[in-house]
Structure 1
Amino acid sequence: MDLDGWEGSPPPSLANPALLREPPATERGVRTRASLIAAARAVFERVGYLDARLADITAEAKCSTGTFYLYFKNKEEIFAAVLAVAEEEMRHPGMGRVADTGDPYAVLAASNRAYLETYRRNAKLMALLDQVANIDPAFQRLRRRRAQAFIDRNARGIADLQKRGLADPDLDPELTSRALSMMVSRVAFSTLALDEGGPPDFDHLVDTLTRIWANALRFPDHRG
């Protein structure tokens, strides 16, 4: 869940910049590279990162191994490219970019819905990221830095609500943001990426997590 828009620098990327090459100079090159990235994502999501082979990716993309090496050195490079593209696709509005309203609960609900809809569309990728984080310490560090950036962003949003008299002033914004942000992300992972107990009713999921957020912050005139 995102409580406000980004101010200043965007959140750190999950894609290691050292593994990203300059994009091709020709339209044909751009199309071929994009086809390889889409194929790699399909393979990674289907068999997992460890079991994915370059031969699987080139077969999915219907191209030769030689063509692959024109654009990527190895599996690590194309995985970084998959992440870079996915991050652009997964952007969603924070609280400051949802339609203006004087009702903080409505804004909170809209922001939670945007986050969870994005998560649901990319559920297989989210499960893949969890797998890679468990085997790659460098990727795990990137993921933690990115998570902290979102926690910091939500903490600023909570502090702003406190200044406006719309949230419990005695709460620590950073600690509250950490607890609530992690709650939403882990519930999203267990229900949407792992599908534990079967897929949930989506509207019920959004409503429940939003009510917990609002009750924790003690929104005025709101009873969950």
Structure 2
Amino acid sequence: MNETTPQDRIDEVPTLVDSSRVRELPTTARGARTREALVAAARRVFERDGFINSRLTDITTEADCSIGTFYTYFDSKEEIFTAVIQAAQKDMLHPSLPRVDSDLNNIPAILEASNRAYVDAYKRNARLNLLLEQVATIDPEFRRLRLARSAAFVQRSARWIKRMQDEGYADPELDPEMAARALLPMLGRMAYHVFALGDEGPDEDAIVSTATTVWLNALGIPRDGSKRA
């Protein structure tokens, strides 16, 4: 396995939230439990009603607490939404490609496993991913952070594609970044339509299998994982 560069070893995925929007965590165990209950209740309400239609009273009712208790921990609906995303973001959006230093013994299997991990994470957080689409249209700062996160995924995938070219597996004529920009949204949109919007068409296995085949074909990687002739 090749050594990675310092750039490859850093955390490549920017945050989805501005942590300055959320006040510091409570210092007591009781406070931490109350705040956690509010965040969990807010997630349920947001997923059920959408961000725009949700009210603070809906959240406090769901959490079985008073509005005064809410304001002990959060200033607004925007702040608790930020806390919801902050708690879930590590599980929500994973790059659909392995790290640059992944073993190359079986590229199709590696790619399929990575695509499946993405789809599984999307499915677990389908309603929250639908909320991301909604909030990105009304909150410029959230949209900026989301675009930065997407750009990081593109760069990470482009480095992986470049390595596939350098090792003799992928079509050397492709621009790695443009290929990543073209291919990355495909898996995300398929997962979005099926799990967030409720399209009853393809199942999880079909999504993963099709996405993996399209990636391999688009990059010119032989289906048996061998190097190009």
**What is the TM-score with the length of structure 2 in the denominator?**
0.88
Query: Within 2, Cα distance between the matches of 1:97 and 1:90?
Result: 21
Stretches of structure 1 that go unaligned for 5 or more consecutive residues are none
Residue identity in the other structure for 1:63 = C
- 8 Å contact from structure 1 (residues 39, 60) kept in 2: yes
Instruction: Select 1:45's aligned residue among 16, 25, 47.
Output: 47
| Corresponding residue of 2:89 | 87
Does residue 137 of the first structure (1) align with residue 114 of the second (2)? Answer: no
- 8 Å contact from structure 2 (residues 93, 122) kept in 1: no
RMSD after superposition: 2.2
Stretches of structure 2 that go unaligned for 5 or more consecutive residues are none
| Corresponding residue of 1:22 | 24
Which structure has more RCO (C-alpha within 8 Å, separation ≥ 6)?
1
Report the number of matched residues.
219
Change (3 A) 1:91 1:126: closer
Deviation at 1:64, TM superposition (A): 1.0
- 8 Å contact from structure 1 (residues 109, 210) kept in 2: yes
More divergent stretch after superposition (134-143 vs 204-213): 134-143
Query: Within 1, Cα distance between the matches of 2:219 and 2:209?
Result: 15
| Corresponding residue of 1:113 | 116
Residue identity in the other structure for 1:59 = T
**What is the TM-score with the length of structure 1 in the denominator?**
0.90
| Corresponding residue of 2:149 | 146
Change (3 A) 1:6 1:100: same
Change (3 A) 1:190 1:42: same
Query: Within 2, Cα distance between the matches of 1:114 and 1:161?
Result: 21
Could you report, residue by residue, the CA deviation over 1:164-202 in whole angstroms, capped at 9, with x for unpaired residues? 111111110000001000111122212221123x15221
Change (3 A) 1:162 1:97: closer
Deviation at 1:15, TM superposition (A): 1.2
Could you report, residue by residue, the CA deviation over 1:15-68 in whole angstroms, capped at 9, with x for unpaired residues? 122212211111111111111000000000100101111100010011111111
Residue identity in the other structure for 1:106 = A
Deviation at 1:100, TM superposition (A): 4.7
% same residue: 49
Deviation at 1:87, TM superposition (A): 0.9
Change (3 A) 1:221 1:129: closer
Give matches, 1:153-172, under 5 Å: 153-172=156-175
| Corresponding residue of 2:69 | 67
Classify the secondary structure of the residue corresponding to 1:83: helix
- 8 Å contact from structure 1 (residues 98, 110) kept in 2: no
